[in-house]
A and B are shown apart, each in its own frame.
Chain A
Amino acid sequence: MVNPVLLIALPLLLAFVSIVFKAYKNNLLVFGTLLNAGLVLTLNKGQYIIGGFQPPFGINLVLDDFALTGILIINGLFLVITLMSLEKLEGFASVLLVALAGLNGLVLTGDLFNLFVFLEITAITAYILSSASKEYRYAFNYLVLGTLGSGLYLFGLIVLYAVFGTLNMADLSVKMAAVDASQLVLPSLLIFIGLAVEVKILPFNGWVKGVYSGTNSLVGPLFASVYAAGMLFVFGRIFAQVIPLGTYLRTSLVVLGALTLLAGEVAALSKTRIREILLYSSIGQSGLIAALFLSGLVFVAVMQLVNNALSKAILFTVAGQMADSTGTDEGEELQGAFLEHKIAGVGFTIAALSLIGLPLFYGFISKMNLLFGIFYSDNYWLPVVILLGTVIEGTYMVRLLVKLWTPGDEGIVSEKAFATERPLTIQSSKVMGIVVLSVVLLIGGLLPAVIQDNLTDSGSLLDEVTPAYLFDLKGGQ
C-alpha cells in the first residue's frame, strides 16, 4: 500500500538532493514530477497517520475523494506544465520540487497548523517564482500581502486553539459545530482573509495584476492553474467542511465572491493585453468558485475548479509563449497569430470556449451542473450574477479569438496579409501538452461520465458538512 505522505516526502528529498548535485537538478525535477504523477494513480483512500500518534494528538493526512481529486489535478497539471516549458526552468528546479511537495501537503493535511506550514512553503515558492519576471516591485508587493495573509490565518488559528485546545480539522469541526456560530465570527473572518489573499478574492487581490501580467510560459500556467487550484481546494476544505459559518457571515462572504466574479469579468472586458484579460478572468473564476464553496455546493465547485485549472493551463501557456517569443502580448499586435500555429490555436480556442461553458466542452457540463445546483438550493440571485459574468466572459473571449484567428480590421475581408509579422514560435513540447489538455476538456464534455465518476463521490462526501472521519479524544496507535 502506498502512503500518500510519499507525495510530499519524495519531492522534498529530491529538492535537498538537487542542492548537492546541482548539475542534475533539472533531471531530478522531471524525475520527481513523473514519480508523483505515477504515485497518485496507486493511492488508496483513507486516513494516514504521521509519527504514530493518533489524531488529534498527532498529524494526519486525509485522503478522501475531495483530496484525491485535488492531488490528481495538481500532480497531473504540474507534470504537463513542467514538461511543456522545460526551457524556462532557469535556476528554479529545486524551488519547483519544494512547490510540488508544498501543494500536495496543502491538499492532503488534516491539521490546521500543518496546513499553515504548507501554506508558508507554497507561498514562498510562489514569491520566488514571481521574481522570474524581474519585476521585483510586484514580487515584493506579493511577498508583503501574502505574508500578512498567512499571518492573519495564523492569528485566527491561534484564537481557535485558545478556545478549543485542538488543531485537528475533524476534531475542531465537531467542537466548533457545538458552539453558537456568532461567537466564532472573528477567527473565521481572520482565516477567511488570510486565505482570500491567495485565493484572489476582492479586496485582497491587489498583488495579482502585477504578478500575473508578467509571467512567462512556465510560471503563468503554474500560478493560474496549479497554485490557484491548490489554494481553492484548501479554501473549500476549510469553509465547506471545517469552519461552520453563521447565516449572515456566510451570505456576506458569498456576496463578496459574487462581487469578485463581476469585478474580474468587467475588468477583463476593458483590457487588450492577453495575459491581463486572462488574469482578470482568473480573478473572476476564483470569486465564482469561492462563492460556490461558501454556498456549500462542493461538488459543482470542484467541477468548475477542474474546468478552470485545465483551461487556464492552456491559455496561460500560449499567452506566455506569445510574450516570450514576440516580446508582446497585445491582442492588436498579434492579429492572425494562430494562422501559422493551427494546433496551438485550436487548443487555445477549446480552452477559451470551455471556460465560457459552451457545449462540446467540459465547461458546459460544469456550468450546467452548477446552475442547477444553485437553483436547487433556492438561491435565485447568484445564478443571475453568474450568467451575467458568463455573458461578459463570452464577449471578451470571443473578441480575442476573432482577433487571433482573423487578421484585419472590422468590415474588411480578412486576409493572411494582415497577419502579424512578429516571429511567434511554439515548441513541439508545448503543442503536445496543449493537445493533451484539450483532449481532456473534450472528453469531459463529450463523455462526462469519465471525469464525473472521479468527482461524484467527492460531492456526496462533502455535501454533508459533517466530517468524514471521527475519533475519540483518547486513543492508541
Chain B
Amino acid sequence: MKRIFALVLVAVVGILLFSGIYSMEGFPRYGEAEVSERVSMSYIDKNVTRENQEVVFGVSENLETGSANIVTSIIVNYRSFDTLGEVTVLFVSALGVSLLFGSFEGRLRSRYKPNFILRTGSKVVFPLILVMGAYIFIHGHLSPGGGFPGGSMIASAILLMYLADEDFRVRIDDFKKTEGIAGAMYVLLGLVGLMISNYFLSNFLDTGTVGTLFSAGIIPVVYVLVGLKVGSELTGIITDFLKGEVE
C-alpha cells in the first residue's frame, strides 16, 4: 500500500512539474532559447571586459580568457569561484568519509583470488590510464574534459589495481598531503590574483594565443591542481570504502 501511494505521489508530482514548466510563458522550448539575450552570449564571444571582436582559433591573442574550450572558460575563468566551491564540496565529502570509516581496518577480500591475466594485464593498463587522466586535465582548456574527469580517471586506475591485486596498498598519507597541498595552492592562486589585480581568482597571467597548449593564463594551472586533488581525493574515498568493519 505504501509503495502504491509513493508511486502515485511521484506520478502526481511529475505531472505537476511537467505541466507547470510547459505552461510557463517564457520557458524556451528545447533548442529555441535566444542565446543573444543571455549572459552566455558574452562567454561565447569572450567580450565581457572588451569590445566585441572575432575570435579565431590559433590566431587571436590576449583574449580576456584564452581557453579554446568554452565550457572550461566559464568553469575556470568566468565562474571560477563556483569551481573552488565544488572542489570544496568533494574535499569535505572525502573528509566525512574518512571520519566515518576512521576506526575501520583491513580491507575487503573476495573468496577467490584474481586470476593471473587480470593481475598482470591490469599492471600494463595502469600506467596508460594514468597518462590518459593526466592528458585530460592538462588539455582541459583545449579539449573536452578537465580537472574533474581527469582526476576521476586517475582514481579509476587505482580502483583497478585494488580489484586486480588483493595485496595492493596505497600510502594514503601521501595522497592526503597531495590533496591538501593542491587545494591550498588553488586558494593561494586566488589570493595572488587578489593582490595583483584586486579581484580574487582573477586570471593574472598572460592568456597567450587561443588554442595553444601554453595559453589561457592560470586555467591550465588550476586544472592540473584540480586534477591532482580530485585524483588523490577519490583514491582516499575508494581506500576508505574498502575498509572492513571491526566487530
> Which positions in A face B, CB cutoff 8 Å?
3, 5, 9, 12-13, 15-20, 49-54, 56-59, 91-92, 94-95, 98, 101-102, 105, 113-114, 117-118, 120-121, 124-125, 127-128, 131, 159, 162-168, 179-180, 183-186, 474, 476-477
Determine whether B117 belongs to the interface, using a CB cutoff of 8 Å to chain A: no
Beta-carbon contact of A50 and B96 below 8 Å: no
Q: A3-B194, A51-B80, A477-B49 are in contact. Are A17 and B27 (CB under 8 A)?
A: no
Across the interface, which residues of A come within 8 angstroms of B202, CB to CB?
51-52
Q: Which of B77, B86, B93, B95 contacts A51 (CB 8 A)?
A: B77
- Residues of chain B within 8 A of A117, CB atoms compared: 82, 85-86, 89
Nearest CB of A to B139, in Å: 22
- Within 8 Å of chain A (Cβ to Cβ): is B10? no
What are the residues of chain B within 8 A of A20 when measuring CB–CB? 176-177, 180-181, 184
Can you list 21 residue pairs at the A/B interface with Cβ under 8 Å? Answer: A12-B183, A13-B191, A15-B91, A16-B179, A17-B180, A50-B201, A52-B197, A53-B49, A53-B78, A54-B49, A98-B92, A105-B85, A117-B86, A117-B89, A120-B85, A120-B89, A121-B92, A163-B27, A165-B38, A168-B39, A476-B50
Among A50, A51, A54, A98, the most chain B Cβ lie within 10 Å of the Cβ of: A51
A-chain residues with CB within 8 Å of residue B91 when the two chains form the complex: 15-16, 98
- Separation of A162 and B108 alpha carbons in the complex (Å): 46
Judge whether B20 is part of the interface by a CB distance below 8 angstroms.
Answer: yes
Q: In the complex, are the beta carbons of A95 and B37 less than 8 A apart?
A: no
Contacts of A59 in B (CB 8 A): 79, 81-82
Complex-state Cα separation, A417 to B55, whole angstroms: 86
- Asked if A159 contacts B21 (CB within 8 A), the reply is yes
- What B residues does A12 contact at CB under 8 A? 84, 88, 183, 187
| Given A52-B197, A124-B93, A124-B96, CB of A163 within 8 Å of CB of B81 | no
**With the chains together, A50 CA to B77 CA distance in Å?**
10
> Which B residues touch A128, using CB under 8 A?
92, 95-96, 99
Q: Is the CB of B188 within 8 A of A51?
A: no
In whole angstroms, what is the CA distance A107 to B243 when docked?
A: 38
Query: Which residues on the B side are within 8 Å of A165 (C-beta)?
Result: 33-34, 37-40
Taking residues whose C-beta sits less than 8 angstroms from the other chain, chain B's interface range is 35 or more
Contact A186 B81 (CB under 8 A): no
Given A50-B199, A52-B202, A117-B86, does the pair A16, B24 have CB atoms closer than 8 Å? no
Looking across the interface, which residue of chain B has its beta carbon closest to that of A49? Answer: B199
Q: Choose among B43, B100, B184, B201 the residue that contacts A13 (Cβ–Cβ < 8 A).
A: B184
How far, in angstroms, from A5 to B40 measured CA to CA in the complex? 25
Q: Which residue of B lies closest to A60 (CB)?
A: B81
**B48 within 8 Å of A (CB atoms):** yes
Q: How far is the CA of A20 from the CA of B178 in the complex (A)?
A: 8
* B28 CB contacts on chain A under 8 angstroms: 162-163
Write out the residue numbers on chain A whose beta carbons fall within 8 Å of the beta carbon of B203. Answer: 51-52
